[in-house]
Structure 1
């Protein structure tokens, strides 16, 4: 069983986060064009990472397996390296974001069906939709909010 811990991120690790972001996006965002990835890459590195509170999942050797970013109780980013998917990292990071960073909302690309399903399974529901992403690109965004009874459901699951 692989073990990992949620940890803080140093600014010097931003290039590693961008590598995780790009690998994750290439594995899950098949609707993006190559030019979109090239467009977003420097924005992630130079702007977006500084705009959020970051945490990462590290393995026993300190390797970054995935990361999240939160601002104003909104999960702005959650990316897991594709080599590490299915290990519970996304769930553990999301638990941390909800429990420690008080996340209540997430915006997700409508075309990223895996992510939409992940958040729905976790108890988020769609409360709105934007036809364009924040950059004005034609990638619809679903605005999701954690159902109010979700924390009670989570506690009941833990008690079993």
Structure 2
């Protein structure tokens, strides 16, 4: 498994991975069009915020991070459970003393994953800050030597 900075030619594969989750999650309202998703992915790739992970020569997952804010972490549905998300997250942890992310309250699998990776709940919101308007939870990871 290798990680690398995403390039614009990765955009179609990143979209497939993103849609593998968003289009298959019944509780998640579809508030953006495919075109909106593509534009957003194109922007974060250009800004240098996206890391990809490859498995068997293909991009199998990606992480979007700006400083200490983790915006997204997705793994292709057929590649989950193989440590790809942990690998991407470990790389982000190695580069930042603190990581923060908002996770939708209804996403029990993601909440459990982040808790296993050392993230703790720091705050809750009624969902006013996310596109879907769903209640969410701020989770924070602090590296060694970082204050509470």
TM-score (norm 1): 0.77
Count of residue pairs the alignment pairs up: 145
Q: Point out the structure with the larger helix share.
A: 1
Q: Aligned residue for 2:134?
A: 139
Matches within 5 A, 1:87-126: 87-126=82-121
Residue 135 of structure 1 and its aligned partner are, at CA, apart by 4.3
Q: Aligned residue for 2:17?
A: 20
Residue 97 of structure 1 and its aligned partner are, at CA, apart by 0.8
In the alignment, structure 1 residue 8 sits paired with structure 2 residue 1 = no
Structure 2 counterpart SS, 1:32: coil
Structure 2 counterpart SS, 1:134: coil
Which runs of 5 or more structure 1 residues have no equivalent in the other structure? 152-160
TM-score (norm 2): 0.83
Which segment is superposed worse, 16-25 or 117-126? 16-25
In 2: Cα distance, 1:93 partner to 1:54 partner: 10
Q: Which residue of 77, 86, 104 corresponds with 2:72?
A: 77
Structure 2 counterpart SS, 1:36: coil
Deviation readout 1:101-137 (Å, 9 max, x if unpaired): 5552121111111000000111111111121253453
Deviation readout 1:37-90 (Å, 9 max, x if unpaired): 5375245334454456111111242x1000001112111110000100000101
Q: CA RMSD in A?
A: 2.5
Structure 2 counterpart SS, 1:104: strand
Q: Which residue of 7, 29, 40 corresponds with 1:44?
A: 40
